[in-house]
A = this chain, B = another copy of it.
């Protein structure tokens, strides 16, 4: 089980992510995430869900690169396919509130994963953010080109995506990538208090607020993300990307070690 559900109450669930050794987002992660979404949506009393990592060094490392062509893909026009962009859209449109509480690395698809949540809070000491795809001869294919600039503005999104570099939680908060950074000691209490507050309020009102905000704000378009996703998978078949990925895998990508801990310097 990659996702372990903790039922704090009928209306407040916590989900712990555990996919050793570094929490890669692999085809199995994708399949189980969709099943989890089915469960979340089926709980009609659910008001708020918090996603944490079981691994303090890795929130979600990035997309798994060996079997990446086996990821569930779909047309995504209906919002009901198995592919990640549709799951992200389901989170955005969900009748419950989703919160990412981040320790460890959230890079690539891991960063795009958290961008799909309603809110993001992170540990100043332990969280690391990056869109490192340029370093493997590609670009963000799971929403980063569509969602990140809505959080950070275009100039900072270009900096993040073109540098492929690591960002700490303070810089991520200054850029709007996350809502706020807290000391590692404060993070859990803040997030738990916020989730309990939300869970104490009226379900219909929570749904009205999310629905109205989604109707007022600029949302990323799934057809854009699907279009970018197709180009992303195509880019991975190019010699440039194959060479870069092979070199990183040989150095230790996807295993617990210095390449994953300090990816930015290996790109």
Interface residues of A (CB under 8 A from B): 97, 118-120, 134-135, 137-139, 145-146, 149-151, 153-159, 161-165, 171, 173-174, 176, 179-180, 194, 197-198, 201-202, 204-206, 208-210, 212-213, 215-218, 220, 224, 228, 231, 235, 240, 267
Q: Is the CB of B228 within 8 A of A145?
A: no
Q: Is the CB of B235 within 8 A of A212?
A: no
Q: Is the CB of B205 within 8 A of A138?
A: yes
Q: Which of B149, B159, B231 contacts A208 (CB 8 A)?
A: B231
Q: How far is the CA of A154 from the CA of B216 in the complex (A)?
A: 9
Residue of B at shortest CB range from A154? Answer: B217
Apart from A156-B176, A215-B224, what are 12 other A-B pairs with CB-CB below 8 Å? A97-B162, A134-B209, A138-B205, A145-B212, A145-B213, A149-B217, A154-B218, A155-B179, A162-B206, A164-B197, A202-B240, A204-B240
Q: How far is the CA of A198 from the CA of B217 in the complex (A)?
A: 32
Min C-beta distance of A116 to chain B, whole Å: 11
Q: How far is the CA of A176 from the CA of B175 in the complex (A)?
A: 8
Q: Which of B180, B212, B215, B228 contacts A139 (CB 8 A)?
A: B212
Residue of B at shortest CB range from A115? Answer: B155
Q: How far is the CA of A118 from the CA of B228 in the complex (A)?
A: 21
A179 contacts which chain B residues (CB < 8 A)?
A: 155-156, 159
A97 contacts which chain B residues (CB < 8 A)?
A: 158, 162
A173 contacts which chain B residues (CB < 8 A)?
A: 174
Residue of B at shortest CB range from A135? Answer: B201
Q: Is the CB of A162 within 8 A of B202?
A: no
Q: Known: A134-B209, A212-B139. Contact between A153 and B156, CB under 8 A? A: no
Q: Known: A174-B173, A197-B165. Contact between A158 and B210, CB under 8 A? A: yes
Q: How far is the CA of A210 from the CA of B134 in the complex (A)?
A: 12
